[in-house]
Amino acid sequence: MSTPRHHRSVDGPGALVMVDDPDDTRLQQYRNLNDPAGRRRYEADESIFVVEGKIAVARLVESEYRVRSLLVDDHQVTLAGELVESVRAQGAPVYVGARGVVEATVGFPIHRGVVAVADRPQPSDALQLVAQVAGRPPTEGGLPIVAVLEGLNDHENIGALFRNAAAFGVGAVLLDPTCADPLYRRSVRVSMGYVLHVPFARLSPWPDALDQVRAAGFVVAALSPDPQSGHGSGDGGADGRGVPRSSLAQLRSRLVEAGSGNDSAGDASGGDPNGVALIFGAEGPGLSEAALSAADLVVSIPMAPRVDSLNVATTAAVAFHSLTGG
């Protein structure tokens, strides 16, 4: 998320427009949603993104993003009447068509019957986000958390991770240059719209910019299984790169002490940390050697024998919960 939207000057409610032709030029921004490559190019050119489903669109309306328009089928115009009126109250038009017209427009059966287009924001500055998170007061669970993602290209994993970040109060999500777009329709839908309420930015150059995150007072901790234990215990010691290993419990204890003002807890530079930056890698390859080497700590989650890893969004949920009071 980036610069807050400028709310349009509303002289009256947006129009309620009946449409009966998928080729209606007013529906151009809703066409071919099932063409991922084509949509990425089109949405970049038009500076828009798409939000699908009543719950996600409701969170869009409550967010800082500006709604351009809403498309609903002739059932949802009544069933989702409150949402329709909320969009119109912002001055945005609402297009209403028969279910077949809506499905022919977007390119697939849209059972939810509700889809919106919003303005894509200007990119946020990653280090400004980090500074904002660092300035927040400590909580009982310790210090603020920033999630850092490397190489995540699965839109559903990104959406689920953002939903988890919102659930556990993560301050921001930073993505390396290769990660997929968090505002792609599937990511927004899987996140239940929470991606619209968690600040995010691209972190570049990668992984060198992690040094600047550390300079802002964050402990940089990489989540990675412990190959020596066979089940990811991660209690003490160091990996082959000389980076210390830690358990989540040890890291949480350190952060809680720092949040309470205990001088015995410090970051890698010797000062009191302002928070923790947790790095998560893609499923399969995991974190790169460069990212692991750039971390202050490598943290592992204890698991049963013969289970070597978790889904990345699940890993993030476990880590967030453990560090925020679990």
pLDDT in tens, 260-294: 665 444 554 456 788 999 999 998 889 999 999 99
Residue type, 319: A
Q: Is residue 11 part of a domain?
A: no
SS3 of residue 142 by DSSP: strand
Residue percentage of the chain with pLDDT more than 90: 71
Q: What angle do CA 65, 71, 73 make, to 5 degrees?
A: 145
Tell whether the model's pLDDT for residue 259 goes beyond 90.
no
Q: Is 114 helix (H, G, I), strand (E, B) or coil?
A: strand
Same domain, 143 and 246: yes
Please tell me the total count of domains within the chain: 2
- The answer to the question of residue 157 being in a domain is yes
Among the listed residues 306, 294, 300, 291, the one whose alpha carbon sits nearest the alpha carbon of residue 318: 300
Residues 58 and 40 reside in one and the same domain: yes
CA angle 15, 21, 23 (to 5 degrees): 100
Residue 255 confidence (pLDDT): 79
Are 249 and 299 within one domain? Answer: yes
277 vs 248, residue with greater confidence: 277
Q: Region 71-77: what's the mean pLDDT?
A: 95
State which H helix or E strand residue 183 sits in.
none
> Is the residue at 272 inside a domain?
yes
For residue range 153-181, list pLDDT tens digits in order: 999 999 999 999 999 999 999 999 999 99
CATH label of the domain that carries residue 220: 3.40.1280.10
- What whole-number distance in Å separates Cα of residue 92 and Cα of residue 8? 9
Rounded mean pLDDT of 99-127? Answer: 93
Six token digits for residue 3: 């610069």
Rounded distance between C-alpha atoms, residue 99 and residue 114, angstroms: 10
Domain check: are 109 and 134 in the same one? no
- Encode pLDDT of 181-197 as tens digits: 999 999 999 999 999 99
- Rg of the chain's alpha carbons, rounded to an integer? 22
Residue 119 predicted with pLDDT over 50 = yes
Task: Tell whether 41 is covered by a domain.
Answer: yes
Q: Which of 104, 119, 134 is the last residue of a domain?
A: 119
Residue 9 within a domain: no
Backbone angles phi, psi at 175, to 5 degrees: -115, 140
Of the pLDDT bands very low, low, confident and very high (cuts 50, 70, 90), residue 135 is confident
Lowest mean pLDDT among 109-118, 160-169, 221-230: 221-230
84 in a structural domain: yes
Q: Please report whether residue 45 resides in a domain.
A: yes
Count Cβ atoms below 10 Å from residue 88 Cβ, excluding itself.
19
Q: What is the pTM of this model?
A: 0.89
Length of the chain: 326
Q: Is the pLDDT of residue 321 over 70?
A: yes
Nearest-angstrom CA–CA distance, 285 and 113: 37
Residues 136 and 91 in one domain: no
Domain shared by 170 and 77, yes or no: no
178 and 295 part of one domain: yes
Domain boundary among 69, 94, 119: 119
Q: For residue 5, what pLDDT is reported?
A: 46
Write down which residue in 91, 119, 147 finishes a domain.
119
What's the rounded Cα separation, in Å, for the pair 185 and 33? 8
Helix (H) or strand (E) holding 96: strand 94-97
Q: What is the mean pLDDT of residues 9-17?
A: 79
Pair of tokens at residue 80? 């989702």
Q: Is the pLDDT of residue 322 over 50?
A: yes
Name residues whose C-beta falls within 8 Å of residue 210's C-beta, 6 or more positions apart in sequence: 148, 203, 220, 277, 279, 291, 294, 295
Span 212-217, average pLDDT: 96
In a domain, 7, yes or no: no
Domain coverage including residue 209: 126-323
Co-location of 112 and 134 in the same domain? no
Taking residues 89-103, what's their average pLDDT?
Answer: 96
Tell me how far apart the alpha carbons of residues 218 and 159 are, in angstroms, rounded to a whole number: 24
**C-alpha distance from residue 304 to each of 230, 269, 307 (Å):** 9, 35, 6
Q: Give the CATH number for residue 94.
A: 3.30.1330.30
Q: Note the pLDDT of residue 6.
A: 44
pLDDT of 43 above 90:
yes
For residues 83 and 232, state if they share a domain: no
